[in-house]
Every structure is written in structure tokens, then in C-alpha cells.
Amino acid sequence: MKIIRIGITLVLGFAGFIPECVAKIPDQTRPNIIFIMSDDHGYQAISAYGSGLNSTPNIDRLAKEGAIFSRAFVTNSLCAPSRAVMLTGKYSHINGKVDNEGGFNWNQMSFPKLLQQNGYQTALIGKIHLDGLPQGFDYSNVLPGQGEYYNPDFIENGVRKQVPGYVTTLTTKYALDWLENKRDKSKPFCLLYHQKAPHRNWLPEEKYLNLYEDRDFPFPDNFFDDFTSRGTAAHTQEMGIVKDMMWGHDMKFENDPYTGKATNFMADILRMDEQQRNAWRSAYDAKNEEFRKAKLTGKDLAKWKYQRYLRDYLKCIQSIDDGVGEVLDYLDKSGLTQNTIVVYTSDQGFYLGEHGWFDKRFMYEESFRTPLLIRYPREIKPGTVINQMVMNLDYAPTFLSYAGVNEQKEIQGESFRQVVSGKSAIWRDAIYYHYFEYPGVHAVKRHYGVRTERYKLIHFYYDIDEWELYDLEKDPHEMKNVYDDPVYNGIRTDLYNRLKALRTKYKDSDEVMQQFLPKKKKEPL
């Protein structure tokens, strides 16, 4: 195709004329990329992973028609830092975005910039949670900050406007519109299609307000975890479903059921239009009044809060799955399926009641591990299962490998293209994690650590100096810290050495960490 185009251009170019039909011949030698990322979508809430919590038939298509990863992880389980790692292929301490508070340097290299420089048409639609005008994209239409579920604001190529509707549906609508109407169809494309949902505070779409209301979900086995043998961090966190969830923001009461005072949920209700507000109140008010009258305590109260949380969370995911289905259907109808890589992931994992928690941040599995599914009919066999430990650090080099772009000097991740295609089984056998945001929301202490196939060693630092060690084969739910068990002395030493080597490899150290510690306030004179 390229040779033909060059030949015609040379012949007709002498006449100063290149026909439109020649100029728009599509480049079909490189794959298109659609990178779908949701926010806080735990792997437990994708039916292809087998938990049985919900049904996600469209996301599951990627597993059936491509590959599912059983051990995909993040380098820093927090929204904005994870996205910075995804874009740059560099750890947080290298790309500079260690927490949700600090800024992000868009001037640094990213995989969309490299794709754009190498002939790809690029677009970013939905949530990115990084301040500033996105760089590396021919088109962007993003949510400011966390974004809103109902009648959200979008920033289209730098221009902000409020749009009526539901955020998940609108994000899908804009993605499809770009695919069909706004891109240059003569170029391969890379679309980052990123959903806000199911991020807190879990406001479902109108059509799903009553979904799962007839179902009681069983408690995770360790819901009432008392953190025996765990250190200070597990005892002092502020992410308990029972003790920390808000009556307004999380439990959806316009007025506190005990004091009657207006809650912070009023801001969400007031943002809705009259029809949306009426639908919401019709679905929730009677149930909320029933709760008030029941005056639940103890485990009955815990069960009620857990059910409210999980139902709302899963309802939000249903709209995401609908959107994935619409995009996959578009690819089929447009003849793009065979030459398009489709990836589904989340910016990190999420607790769905394990240890009695919601949110993420910890290096424990439910937070550390993220869903990852990928379909590319030209290289990946249907029904492939990948058990190697990959990380969000690896997305950038993998996409660049598929696109034939070799400019990857700054990238710390590795392409898993050969692994997922079955051409190579050689891969890393240990991964490194580092969480920085403390003091901060949910009070999860700073820590870093190493995970191997079987073991996990974590060091909590800054205001404490504590270590935890888990045998994931014997204790997959991480209930027993065996750091001080003499049986594990040799393993502990080996893990120390692995951790030291990984910190050196990824250019992290105590000295590097110092620049990201909170600045001490000067004492008044």
C-alpha cells in the first residue's frame, strides 16, 4: 500500500496535483489502539474473573476473544499517579506525580506524544485527573478533576462547558463521535477512552437505579478483620465501610438519619435536573426512610451499609459495560476489529469489603492488583490467560511496540507483546511498589515493597518503621504477617535483597524519597 502510494505521488506530483483519493489512502500496516480505563474498578467486579458478583458481558468479550491477565498490578495505587505512570511508563518518583495533590508535568515525554510524532491520530476522552491542557493529543474532551456523574462539565480542547446527561453515557458518546466523525481516517489512531465510574461516590445511571436491590451480597470472609498481627497502618487507616463512610456522600441520605442535618449529598442532588432528581428520590427515599425506622446496630448496621455501597458501585459498572459494548459493536460494523487493539483496565484495584474496607492505596492484593484484558485478533489467541506479573508501567512500551515506535529511552516498563502473543515466556519474577500520599485522605501510611510469585514484603515508613511479610500461597487474603516468624528468616533475607535490587533498578532510594516528604512547617518566631 505504501509503495503504491509513493509511486502515484511521484508521477502525479510533477503536475502539482495529488488526487484526494490518493492522499486519503488509509495506513493499515499499523494497528489502531483503543485504551479503555475506568476508575477504581476492582477485578472482583468483572465477571470474567469469576467472583460471581455481577455480569459484565461486553468487557468479558475481550477475555473470550483475546487475553485476560490474572496478575496485573500498579506501581502506586492512587488515581492521578497511576495515570501518570500509564502515560509515561515511568515510576511516580521519576515522572514527578507521586500523589493526587501535586501537579503533573505534561511537557515530559509520553506514549501518546510518541505515537503522534510517528503518524498516529490521538485522542483523550473522559477522565484523566491530571491538571493542565493534555499534551500529545490531536483531540481532547476531558472531565475537570474527578468530574461529576450527573450533568458534568467537559473541557473540549481547552474549552469548558456543562453538558446535560450522565457522565458514563456521555463519555461513550464522545468516543464514538470522534471515531466516526472527528478523526483523520487515513491514519492509524490511538483513543484513550477513560470513564469516571465507578469512582466514589457511586451515583448510578437512572435506568440502573433499582438494579441489584433484590439481591443480598455475602460478606467477604474477612469483612470483620481485626488486623491481628498486622502493624500500625492497618489499624489507623480511615477506609472502613462501617466506621468511615459518610451518610451523605456514600450512603445517599440528603439529611443525616440521626441528626436530620443536611449532608454533603445535597450538592449532588442539586446538580441533577428535575427529572433526574425525581427518579433518584423515587428509587432511594422509601428505602432510606425504612432504614431510619429500623434503627439498626452492630452487624445489622454493617450489613446494611455494605449492601448500599456494593449495590451502588456495581450499578455504576453496568453503564461502563454498556459503553464497552457500543464501542466493540462500532468496530465490528466499521470493519476495524481485526486491526484494532482494545485494552480494558482500571487505574488500580479497589476493596469491595475485604478487610471491611473500601478505597485502595495499600499494597495488599485487592488494591495493588488491577483488571487487565486485551484483544488483538492478529496476534492474540482467543481465551488466552496470562499469569505473568505485568504492571501499568508496561502499557506505554507495549503500545509503542505494537506501533513500531522504538524511541523509548526514558521508559522503565517493558513490553509484554511477546508474552501475550505466546511467543515468549521470559518475564520478570518480582515487582516493585511505592505509595507516597501520607498524611492524606484515608490516612494510609507511606510504604514500598516487593512482590514475587509467592511472597510480599512491605516497609511502612515516614512516621513509623514497620515491616510486613506475607506468604501468598498459604495466606492469599493477607491475614497473617509472618515477618517475625523464624521459619521465614531465609525468605525475608532474600526479599530484602530483591527489594534493594529493584529500588536500584528503578532509581528509588531513601534520598529520593526525601524530596517527596511533606515540608515541615517553620516554628513561629
Q: Return the bridge partners of 470, or none.
A: 456
Could you tell me the end-to-end alpha-carbon distance of the chain, in angstroms, rounded to an integer? Answer: 74
What is the pLDDT at residue 519? 76
Spatial CB neighbours of 400, under 8 Å, sequence gap ≥ 6? 111, 114, 115, 406, 407, 408, 411, 415
The mean pLDDT value for 429-458 works out to 98
pLDDT of residue 342: 98
Q: Are strands 455-460 and 447-452 parallel, antiparallel or unpaired?
A: antiparallel
On whether residue 369 sits in a domain, the answer given is: yes
Whether residue 521 is predicted with pLDDT greater than 80 in this model: the reply is: no
Q: How many CB atoms lie within 10 A of CB 18?
A: 14
pLDDT class for 445, splitting at 50, 70, 90?
Answer: very high
In a domain, 301, yes or no: no
> In CATH, what number is assigned to the domain containing residue 322?
3.40.720.10
Q: Is the pLDDT of residue 294 over 60?
A: yes
Number of domains into which the chain is organized: 1
Q: Tell me, what's the pLDDT at 321?
A: 98
Question: Model confidence over 117-154: pLDDT tens digits?
Answer: 999 999 999 999 999 999 999 999 999 999 999 999 99
**Mean pLDDT of the chain, nearest integer:** 93
Domain interval for residue 132: 2-202+309-423
Using DSSP's 3-state secondary structure scheme, residue 24 falls into coil
Q: Specify if 189 maps to a domain.
A: yes
19 within domain boundaries: yes
The pLDDT assigned to 29 comes to: 83
* 227 exposure class (CB count in 10 Å sphere: 0-12, 13-18, 19+): middle
Residue 407 has a pLDDT of 78
Q: What is the mean pLDDT of residues 314-327?
A: 98
Across residues 333-351, what is the average pLDDT?
A: 98
Q: So what's the pLDDT on residue 292?
A: 97
In a domain, 482, yes or no: no
Q: Dump pLDDT digits (tens) for 28-73.
A: 789 999 999 999 999 999 999 999 999 999 999 999 999 999 999 9
pLDDT-above-90 percentage for the chain: 92
Q: Considering the domain boundaries, does residue 258 fall inside one?
A: no
Stated as kind and residue range, the H or E segment containing 172 is helix 167-177
| E strand or H helix that includes residue 95 | helix 92-95
Q: Return the pLDDT at 409.
A: 85
Is residue 106 domain-resident?
Answer: yes
Q: In whole angstroms, what is the distance from residue 434 CA to residue 361 CA?
A: 10
Task: Tell me the backbone φ, ψ of residue 126, rounded to 5 degrees.
Answer: 110, -135
Q: What is the pLDDT of residue 27?
A: 65
- pLDDT score of 365 more than 80: yes
Q: What pLDDT score does 408 carry?
A: 79
